[in-house]
Chain A
Amino acid sequence: MKAKAAALAVSLALLAGPVAPVPASRRAPGEKKPLDAGCPAVFTDVAAQARLRFTHDRGATPAHQLPETMGSGLAWLDYDNDGWMDLYVVQSGPFPPDGSPRARDRLFHNNRDGTFTDVTDKAGLKDAAYGMGAVAADYDNDGYVDLFVTNFGGNILYHNNGDGTFTDVTEKAGVAGSGWSTSAAFADFDGDGLLDLFVVKYLDYSVEKNYFCGKGHREYCHPSLYPAIGNLLYRNRGDGSFADVTASSGIGTALGKGLGVVVADFDDDGRPDIYVANDTTMNFLFHNLGGMKFEDVSLLSGTGVNAAGRAFGGMGVSAGDLDGDGRIDIAVANFEAEPNSFFRNLGSTVFEDVSAVSGFGPPAFNFSGFGLNLLDAANAGRLDVFIANGHVLEVPRMQGVTYAERPFLMWNDGKGRFTERGCGEPFRRALVGRGSAVADYDNDGDMDIAVSNSGGPLELLRNDGGHGGWVGLTLRGRKSNRQGIGARVTLETEKGRQVREVKAGDSYLSSSDPRVHFGLGTAASIVRVVIRWPSGIVQEVRDAKPGRYQTIEEPVEAR
């Protein structure tokens, strides 16, 4: 349990007997029901006390340049291998970008006591471009997590030197790209043990192409006014450089307006597929055929548009087994007047849009979702969903919609039916949410959430709940990539099975704690853990112990 006041209070109360909300009839007149009564887990914003001092600078100008309203994201990474998650936060800054210090991203080192220290300068991180997102992964398998930062303009790859510093290796790696990049994800697409890189591009925009939009006053233009563009796929050569295989892979011909990406093995064939959330154009599902070739199955899979056959404003995205059937489903955060999407995986890259019947979509109708993360918020043994909301227009055209919006916590009943209920003060506070990423930053066994807010403060939502058991797994690949990204992990307890895949990059412009976290609910013990590594090796672990993080190394041969 957490060593913090709230948790201690709960523990003491437990010693004294069961805790129950005070019945309404026994409350004093005028006394209100506690706002978070009955919440399985309550979140508290502890960014200030954690010394995470960061305010996003979106560089808003009267010209209302579109990038000003889209940033930014963040990435959790353990860059110094001390077992504690550090946080990289992307800054935007003046627009058009002028390289000013205002635009510098920040790296916060986790002090292991609930606080962080800004180590940006010490780490040699100098990105002062107009920042969008970040994803962390050990692309060169040297045991240290590297960092890829997307920008409006060229992207940056930072190599982790292993001594607390980073070196900009973009040029050597050949991954700068150009134009407007948004989210990115690392995965071993060709099964060679090296992490390849997929970069999402938004649309064809330049300062000169900024139209006058809005009546009476200028506002941000609708993305439909700008041409769609293709995404980028880089194959890792293994010598520190990447080859642009966009065209040969078959993904280059799919033009969209991409904002979010998640990589997962949707058809369970051992090869990672790619799902891209596009804004106003159809979403993409690229089915991995092997040999770095992909087939666009967006529409045939039933995930390109919604059940009514309409494209939507897809922003953030993630994937996981939401209904407990062992298959990886897709959740997408959408723009206003569009319910969020939940595509249930039926197998063989065929999905069913269950956004409405699952209760996942309807609450979002008047909200604009961006960051979206799957997490077992109460360690109950099922994946809940966090969604950071916030509009793009300071004065939204649609009534009943506001610029700043409260976030969502969608509680899963374990069968893929959701109820929206915010638990904790951050869920009653309206901000302009953008990127979000989850991590157990205090290593207490429950998942916390970092949220980047457009033009607002960084939030760290500490999870003050999670009374169920848990287990955390750090994967160490040998034949596979070092972090085991793409591994499918199945946990079996006497209560049932849970499935996770290790990801590097999801949500909106962000990447989360790469460790595999399972809530155990009421299960007393773990029967076994089965890991299918990206190499194809299947490993069974029977000695996983609840209540701690443990490292599992890939065997050389299957066992």
Chain B
Amino acid sequence: MFTGLAPGKTVDSNEAWQRAQALFSAGKPDEAVPILESLASSRPESVVALRGLAAAYAAVGDERAEDTYRRAIALAPRDFALRFESVEFLWAAGRADAADEEMARLLSEAGGTRLRVRYAFELMRQQRFADASRELEQSCRSGRCNAEALEAWGSALLETGRFEDSAARYRDAIALAPDRVSARHNLGRVLLLAGNPASARLELGRAVEAEPRSPEVLLDFGRALEALGQVDQAEAAYRKVIGLAPDLPRSHYALGTLLARRGHQEEARREIALYQRVFEREQKERFQAGARRAELSLGWTELARGEAERAAVQFGRHPDDPEALRGRALALARLGRHAEAVAALEHALSISPVDPRTRYALAREREKAKAP
């Protein structure tokens, strides 16, 4: 991601460049933009200057970022680091299709296990588990895969329902790094999911030995014990989890339902009530976050369609949401209502004063508002 600017031999001695770098590092990419624009215009053939400008544009949400990356890449098509940075920008901007296309080209030209593994992780984020699995297979078949990649491969296979293959990859990861508790924990989980609690208990038991204070591992260990009918041990495991992490809701559910099965209704009800409170809060938060995302997505879609008026109305439904205010400002600006756009951005900045994207947009709108 864009936490800093790439060093460059051509201009890094330049005072302006150093100032831009410092601003960027200080979380003020919006202030770095004019400096970098000036540098890039004075050195139009400088890849470093264009790359820095593209990164700054990306950090402030300026739509010129993609084009600026493209110009930089045109000057240095074999600069694979630059191309990967542009791919990361596209991923972050939600342009997965374009990014994946460029990534495929990059892999065919540059190759490299690390790059492929990184791509696989991104594919998993995109829920393209089969593709991720394929990339990881290609990386790992050459024998240059580390335990982390093997574990990720196991997870990708799990997500495509290939439980046996998934377990095999987790075992490979463990063989390579026997102390890797996460791989053993994941192996135990996939075995539980596949209906093999005896093997799950074995693996999770080893994970517990390695990390006896991990609530998540201990909770799944308890589940394996319970599935095997070892209810006393399961109950002890759940109680230990609650001792370690009283706020982990699933442990209260596990203990509550186990107690209900054992006829201890009163304590079961107490545990279930604890779980239910958190469960309902999480459901509510998830609904609110999802609904907000959908509302804003509708606004951005209207804007992309050129329906600025409708977008402004849509964003206006969230008068205290910084992203909605930024969207509304953009829509208003397109309608030529710059003063209102400035007001929206000022309000956004009052809510989220450190957001460089809002500061940047506000500065631009103020300029436009002043213009005759």
Contact residues of A with B, CB < 8 Å? 211-213, 215-216, 221-222, 224-228, 281-282, 299-302, 305, 307-311, 337, 339, 346, 350, 352, 356-359, 361-362, 365-366, 397-400
Contact = CB atoms under 8 A, between A and B. Distances in A.
Contacts of B279: 282, 299, 305, 309, 311
Nearest to B273: A299
Contacts of A310: 250
Nearest to B278: A309
23 contacts: A211-B295, A211-B298, A212-B298, A213-B294, A213-B297, A225-B290, A225-B291, A225-B294, A299-B279, A300-B256, A305-B253, A309-B249, A309-B254, A309-B275, A311-B279, A311-B283, A356-B227, A365-B163, A366-B160, A398-B127, A399-B128, A399-B129, A400-B160
Contacts of B130: 399-400
A227 B287 contact: yes
A359 B195 contact: yes
Contact of A397 (B127, B195, B261, B298): B127
A215 B94 contact: yes
Interface in B109-145: 127-131
Interface in B223-254: 223, 227, 249-250, 253-254
Nearest to A367: B161
Interface majority SS (helix, strand, loop, mixed), chain A: loop
Nearest to B250: A309
Nearest to B220: A308
A537 B70 CA distance: 81
B192 A356 contact: yes
A307 B159 contact: no
Given A216-B97, A224-B286, A398-B129, A350 B275 contact: no
Contacts of A311: 279, 283
Interface of B: 94, 96-97, 127-131, 159-161, 163, 192-195, 197, 223, 227, 249-250, 253-254, 256-257, 260-261, 265, 268-269, 272, 275-276, 279, 283, 286-287, 290-291, 293-295, 297-298, 301
A221 B294 contact: yes
Given A339-B193, A350-B260, A358-B195, A400 B161 contact: yes
B193 A356 contact: yes
B310 to A, nearest CB: 11
A359 B249 CA distance: 27
Q: Which 9 A-B pairs have the closest CB atoms?
A: A309-B250, A365-B161, A211-B294, A399-B130, A356-B195, A309-B253, A212-B301, A366-B161, A400-B160
Interface majority SS (helix, strand, loop, mixed), chain B: helix
B256 A299 contact: yes
Given A224-B286, A308-B250, A362 B269 contact: no
Nearest to B269: A300
A331 to B, nearest CB: 16
B138 to A, nearest CB: 16
Contacts of B249: 309
Contacts of A350: 260-261
A339 B268 CA distance: 26
Given A300-B260, A309-B253, A346-B261, A398 B159 contact: yes
A319 to B, nearest CB: 19
A515 to B, nearest CB: 34
> Which has the most chain A C-beta neighbours within 10 Å: B163, B197, B275, B297?
B297
A419 to B, nearest CB: 12
Contact of A356 (B131, B161, B194, B297): B194
Nearest to B198: A357
Contacts of A221: 294
> Which has the most chain A C-beta neighbours within 10 Å: B160, B260, B301?
B260
A356 B96 CA distance: 35
A311 B276 CA distance: 12
Nearest to A358: B195
A194 B268 CA distance: 36
B193 A224 contact: no
B223 A307 contact: yes
A224 to B, nearest CB: 5
Given A215-B96, A224-B286, A398-B129, A362 B163 contact: yes
B324 to A, nearest CB: 14
Nearest to B302: A212
Contacts of B250: 308-310
B166 to A, nearest CB: 11
B290 A224 contact: yes
B180 to A, nearest CB: 22
A3 to B, nearest CB: 41
A299 B287 CA distance: 20
Contacts of B96: 215
Contacts of B260: 300-302, 350
A430 B251 CA distance: 40
A365 to B, nearest CB: 4
